[in-house]
Every structure is written in structure tokens, then in C-alpha cells.
Structure 1
Amino acid sequence: MSGFIIIALIVLVFIIIYQIAKASEYASVLRGEEKVKAQTNRTMAGLLVAFFVLGVYGIWKCHELLIDKMLPVSASEQGVGYDSMLKVTLIITGLVFFATQAILFWFVWRYQATEKRTSFYYAHNNKLELLWTTVPAIAMASLVAIGLRNWFNITSQAPANAAVVEIVGKQFNWIVRYPGHDNELGKRDFRKINDANNILGLDWNDTHNLDDIISPSGEMHLVVNKPVKLIIGSRDVIHDVGLPHFRMKMDAVPGITTTMWFTPRYTTEQMKQITGNPNFVYEISCDQMCGKGHYSMRGTIIVQTQAEYDAWMASQQSYYAQNNAAPAAAPAAGDSAKPKTDSVKVTAMK
């Protein structure tokens, strides 16, 4: 019954619209078609100008209402460059948008159709073509250059003192691995992956794996004002490590290792004060549709002082010790002095 009522209402609306159109047509005949046409042109031109003014006002009011809900200040030094790039892009494109739309709606009002005005055929103008092709091309090339500069910054070689953290995506959570006392991540072999006791496929024949620490809950701990290089991978499908507060993102591709680095500017506690939100957390999102559980693929980052990080690290047990009855032998004293590596060794598929 409800479906029949909806169909009946739709038909009724169309009948009303048809009757209004017919009434308008009869009114045109009575008052004079040309007079009605001129009046309609003026009305439509006025409405379009009003639409432009109200539209610009609406954009401004939306900006005022939503500005407090925008992301807070960039939490990474590299993100400052991205914020600057976005600001420059919005200013340039905003000015172009306002200028072109203002001219467009002014033309609608200024050049209404009248009996005295006839159309003018303007076939071609080389100077005009060159102008509106060259200027946008230069502007867009400049914006691309700024973007590439920022991109090359986060994908370049990380500083020598950068910490190294591996993050691996799987349906539907993040796995985070830290090097242990030897400051080196061990080899991984996808054939050794076992969700029960070896979620990353660590090769236990590689002694560098024996002190590595793994967080399967997607919680990542970083040190404020210390650069960190993320080594990114995937166990199954394409994911994407999204760090909105740090203005970073990078694809996690199965079989391929991707990297990026950045320097956190504020601890989690400092950001709570900046945002005025006592429940604030840095989020790790998956910015690539990865399956039916994509919505739940969320991790967190805790940015701490060096002392807080060292205390947390000292409380962690190696992944090997957690999953093997006999604890691994402690690394030799000289191992802690080894230089940190920023690459992950993964056994290739034969």
C-alpha cells in the first residue's frame, strides 16, 4: 500500500508541474510573449547573482563553523611543510575560483538577451589562447614542484640518528616491530608466518630476531623531537599507513617494502593540552579500502619523552621470549654498539 501511495504522489507532482507550465504558457499569450521573456530573463539573472552572493556567504560561514573541527597543528616537522603547501594551494585556487565565478555571474546579469542585442561569433585569438594556457600551466607546475619537494623530503634517506620501526598491515589490524638491544631488525620469511606464534614470519636462525619486540595491537611508541623511519609492509592486500596528525601517508604493499620518515614535534600529553581534549590520541588509519573490516583497522601512536620511552621499552619482553619456552641468550655487550640498520631483510619468493 505504501508503495502505491508513493507512486500516486509522484504522479500528482508531475501533474501539478504540467499544469503550472501550461498556466505560464497561457499567461505569456495574454501578456505578450516578448514581454514575458524579457521579464523572465531579468528574474533569472537576478536569481543567479543572488545565488552567487549567498553561495560565497555560505562558504565563509561554513569555514567559521567548521574551523574548530579541523585537524590541530601538525604534529611533525615535515607536516608543517604540507600545511604550508595546502595553504598556498587554497589561496591560489580560491582567488581563481572567486574571480572566474564573479566574472561568470556578472556576465549573466550584464549581457541579458534583448531584442537589440545580437550574438557575436568570436572564432579564435592566438594571444588569448596562449595566455589562458600558459598562466594555468605555470601555476600548476609551481604547485607540483612544491609537492615534490615535500615528497622527496619524507622519502629521502633518514638521518643517521633516526629510530627504526616496522609497521605491517594485515586484515584488519596493524603489527608494529621494534629492534631490541642490538638495534637491528632481523630477517623475515613469509613462509614462516604463523598467527599462533610468529605473526611476521621471523627467521629464528637470525639472532637479530631474538630480541625484537612486537606489538600486535597496533600501538606505536615514538620519541618526541627524534626522527623515526617507518619500514612499511603488508601481509595480505594493499593497505595504507595514514597518519593524519603528522600529515603523512604511505601505501603498504604486499611483497614490497616502502619507507618514510618524520620527526614528532609534540608528545601525546602536549597535544592533549593544545587541543584541549583529555582523550586525544594520535591515530593510525588505513587509507586504502582493504576489505569488509576496513573500518576497524585503526592503531594508535604514543609520543613520549626519551625517558618515558626507555622505561616503556625496558618493560617489554621480546617476541621470541613470549613464544618460546626457553628464553633466548642475551646479546653480547658489543652488540648494542652496532650501527642501526634501516632496512628489513625479507626472504624472496623462489
Structure 2
Amino acid sequence: MSLKKLIGNKTMAALAVLITVFANTSAFAQEAAAAATAKPVDMGPIYKSTLFYILLFLLLCLFIAIVGKALRVYELTQETQGKQSINWDKVNGIIFAIFLVVGLYGVYWEYTVHGEMLLPEAASEHGKKIDQMFNITLIITTIVFILTHIVLFAFAYFYKSSNNRKAYYYPHNNALERVWTIIPALVLTVLVLMGFLTWRSIFYKIEDPNNKPLSIEVTSSQFQWDIRYPGADGVVGKKNYKKITAINALGIDFTDKNSLDDQIGDEIVLPVNKPVRFILTSKDVLHSFYMPHFRVQLNTVPGMTSYFEFTPTITTEQMKVKTNDPSFKYLLLCAKICGANHYNMQKPVRVVTQAEYDAWVVKQTPYLTNDLRKAFNLPVIAEPVAAPAKADTTAKDTVKTNQIALKK
């Protein structure tokens, strides 16, 4: 028997297949056994590497190219046999219909799953106005988004290219252009006016003489917030960047008598239902004064003083109950990427009752220390003298007892 006949023999071919399958199965079993006894490989660092995702992307591109080539070969084969190849117009129409259904479900999913993650509950008076404006804008844009995409994808499906009809040339329609120009213009005008009026109600307030706002100065720097309260006179004193020294970090000008009783705080404490006026400055770079629960966000700019006034409406304890989170706390954050430790630039904020605020503020440390008094030639206040410790009479009583015992 010749080699050609031996190779072409069906029995030998079947035997070769069986041997190949057996060999592959044995090798696979050995690899599986070795993998079972070996230690598991930590793939975490690989998944975090950029190279892994580059290779994954290139692999995906290669897969798409292979599929494209295979489809092209199929089309050429169909054409050479005189058969109809793939109708890509129909395929594209079906894909558009699928995208419409998936996209509408995606909108529903985003609203139901991520809807509550947009903004926390507003805890200030003006925050409710901002939320109302935001919700109206979101509702209008969502309706327009859904309707326009239904029309877009439905037209792509129902009016896909076909040999049975010819596209109608429709270049111009004055009435249609008036409709899609005037209606969006009116809607946008209403939204802009709402925003303008809301903005004016926040930044241009008529001060109530019976309920004057509490002034608090916040100075931003890399990477901290310095808080200064006004003291008993209710007025935050002036400061001058030229007076910044190692012991006068904020550059307070003590020739202004309003500065003498100012206090510093490690946290921001606000009385509920009391207007608060923040005085915002920066020592170095651009920062952003951001408190999401109060709908407050304003840049702090070096060389410029900014102001923001609002009224908190929900205490920290009430918010703990509302959120069912015993560890809840309001935070002051920086919304500008101001350097390496930007993420850690935050300050706790507490909203309390007026009585709790009054008890807290009297315990705060005055900014003006004796070192500053000496530097600015101000009278030095005597340090409080510690009360003398009680004499320990236990030892004396023990000695007397022992002496009496010896005499006896």
C-alpha cells in the first residue's frame, strides 16, 4: 500500500483523530490537575494596568476585522453564485429599532436607579428653588429627548432604503422651520428667566433688621479651610495680606477694633433658620466653596472677596433621622482641582438650634493671642492662674495614727 493510499484510508484517518483527541484530553487533564494544586494567581494588578486594556481593545478590533472579512467573503460567494447577498439596509433598520428599545430602557433605568443619586435633599431655603428649577429643566429636556429619538430611530427603521420605492426630495418647509425655531426659543427664554430670577433672589437680598445674618469668614488655602467667627460685636474684622506672618496666618488687621474679639473654629456651626453670610477669600490659588446639601458653590479667588448668604433649614440631627444614617454630617468641600491633596480639603459643618449655637460659640478660641498682642503692641492679658491642687492629707493622717499607736 502506497503512502498516499495509507493517508487517504478512512480507517487510518479516524484512528488519527481519536489519537489526537485522546492526547489533547490527557494534556488538558494534566493542566487542570496542575492548576488545581497551584496557588491562585492574583489578577488584580493586571486588571489595573493600562497595557491590559490596550491589548483588550486591540483584540476587539482584531475580532471585528475578522468578522468583517468573513462577511465580505460570504457576500462575494453569494454574488458569484448569483444569489442575493446580505441586505444591509434591512440590517441597519433592525439595529436602529433595537437601539431605540435599549435606549428607552436605559433612560428608564437611569431615572429609577440613579435618579436619587443626583443631589441630596436640599437643606436651605434657596436650595428648594434651585431644585425646582433643575427638575423643570430635566423634565422638559427628557420629554424632548425621548420624542426626538423615537422619531429618529423609527424613521430609520420604517423608511429604510428599498428597491420598491424612491426617496422623496423635501429640502425646505417654512412652517416646519418656524415651529422648531419659535417653540425652543420660547422654552429657553422661560428657563433663562427662571434662572435669572432665582439667581437675583439668592444674591440680592433685602436685609431684615430684626434678623440680621450671622457673618462667618472662610479663608481657603492649600489644603485647608480657616474659619473666623465675629465675636460678641457680630462684625468680622478687616484683614490685609501684607500683615500675614508666621503667627498671623490670616493677616488680620488689629488696628480695626472689630478684629479684637474674633474667634476661630475647627468646624462650621450654623444656627438653623438663621441667615448666614459667608465672606470668602483665598490665600494662594483658586478654590471653590462647595456645600452640596445647601446648594452653595462659589469660587474663592486670590485678591478678591466673595459673599454668599443662605438660610439652613434642617439640623444635622434631623438629617440623620431623614437619611437613617447616625454618622451623617454636612461637609464643606473644594470643587476645584487645586493640587495633590484637593480630595482631602474638607471641613465638617453642623447645623444646630440657636440655643446649642449660643452655648458652642462662647467656648471658641479667640484669634488674638498674647503673642499677637505683643507683636501689635496691644495690652497683654494675664494668663489664668491654675487653682492650687488640694493638699494630700492622707499621708499626714497615717503618720498621726501610727504615732498614737506607738504611744499606746
Structure 1 length-normalised TM: 0.84
Q: Which residue of 2 aligns with 1:272?
A: 320
Match of 2:222 among 171, 175, 179: 171
Paired with 1:82 and 1:301, the residues of 2 have a C-alpha distance of 21
Paired with 2:379 and 2:82, the residues of 1 have a C-alpha distance of 98
Question: Is the 1:159–1:227 Cα contact (8 Å) retained in structure 2?
Answer: no
Q: Which residue of 2 aligns with 1:220?
A: 268
- Mean alpha-carbon deviation: is it higher for 305-314 or for 51-60? 51-60
Instruction: Deviation per CA, 1:55-104: give whole Å up to 9, x if none.
Output: 21122123222345443321001100011011100110000001100000
Question: Is the 1:321–1:328 Cα contact (8 Å) retained in structure 2?
Answer: no
Match of 1:78 among 114, 117, 126: 126
Deviation at 1:276, TM superposition (A): 0.7
Mind listing any 5+ residue stretches in structure 2 that lack a counterpart? 1-50, 382-408
Question: Is the 1:241–1:251 Cα contact (8 Å) retained in structure 2?
Answer: yes
- % identity of equivalent residues: 38
**Corresponding residue SS for 1:182:** coil
Q: 1:93 is aligned with what amino acid?
A: T
- Mean alpha-carbon deviation: is it higher for 125-134 or for 308-317? 125-134
Deviation at 1:130, TM superposition (A): 2.0
Q: Which residue of 1 aligns with 2:152?
A: 104
Deviation at 1:51, TM superposition (A): 1.5
Residues 188 and 247 (structure 1 numbering): CA distance in 2 closer, same or farther, change over 3 Å?
same
Map 1:176-187 onto structure 2 (within 5 A).
Answer: 176-187=227-238
Paired with 1:314 and 1:268, the residues of 2 have a C-alpha distance of 20
Instruction: Deviation per CA, 1:215-260: give whole Å up to 9, x if none.
Output: 3x4x211110111111111111111111100112111111111112
Q: 2:71 is aligned with what amino acid?
A: A
**Corresponding residue SS for 1:250:** strand
Q: 2:256 is aligned with what amino acid?
A: D
Paired with 1:14 and 1:100, the residues of 2 have a C-alpha distance of 31
Instruction: Deviation per CA, 1:24-56: give whole Å up to 9, x if none.
Output: 3224415757x435x332232122112211221
Residues 198 and 42 (structure 1 numbering): CA distance in 2 closer, same or farther, change over 3 Å?
same
Q: 1:307 is aligned with what amino acid?
A: A
Map 1:46-57 onto structure 2 (within 5 A).
Answer: 46-57=94-105
**Corresponding residue SS for 2:85:** helix
Match of 1:36 among 59, 69, 85: 85
Q: Which residue of 1 aligns with 2:353?
A: 305
Q: 1:148 is aligned with what amino acid?
A: F
Q: Which residue of 1 aligns with 2:201?
A: 153
**Corresponding residue SS for 1:259:** strand
Match of 2:363 among 315, 333, 336: 315
Q: Which residue of 2 aligns with 1:89?
A: 137
**Corresponding residue SS for 2:368:** helix
Question: Is the 2:279–2:306 Cα contact (8 Å) retained in structure 1?
Answer: yes
Residues 231 and 32 (structure 1 numbering): CA distance in 2 closer, same or farther, change over 3 Å?
farther
Mind listing any 5+ residue stretches in structure 1 that lack a counterpart? 331-350
Deviation at 1:136, TM superposition (A): 0.9
Q: Which residue of 2 aligns with 1:199?
A: 249
Larger radius of gyration: 2
Paired with 1:6 and 1:147, the residues of 2 have a C-alpha distance of 48
The two structures, once aligned, show a CA RMSD in angstroms of 2.6
Q: Which residue of 2 aligns with 1:336?
A: none
Q: 2:272 is aligned with what amino acid?
A: V
Instruction: Deviation per CA, 1:268-326: give whole Å up to 9, x if none.
Output: 11101111111111111111222222212112211010011011111112110375477
Question: Is the 2:373–2:379 Cα contact (8 Å) retained in structure 1?
Answer: no
Instruction: Deviation per CA, 1:181-208: give whole Å up to 9, x if none.
Output: 11111111101112x3212100122221
Question: Is the 1:210–1:328 Cα contact (8 Å) retained in structure 2?
Answer: no
Paired with 1:61 and 1:68, the residues of 2 have a C-alpha distance of 12
Residues 119 and 328 (structure 1 numbering): CA distance in 2 closer, same or farther, change over 3 Å?
farther
Question: Is the 2:248–2:372 Cα contact (8 Å) retained in structure 1?
Answer: no
Counting matched residue pairs gives 322
Residues 108 and 323 (structure 1 numbering): CA distance in 2 closer, same or farther, change over 3 Å?
farther
Which structure carries more relative contact order (alpha carbon 8 Å, separation 6+)? Answer: 1
User: Is 1:231 the counterpart of 2:282 in the alignment?
Assistant: no
**Corresponding residue SS for 1:148:** helix
Residues 230 and 36 (structure 1 numbering): CA distance in 2 closer, same or farther, change over 3 Å?
same
Question: Is the 2:213–2:277 Cα contact (8 Å) retained in structure 1?
Answer: yes
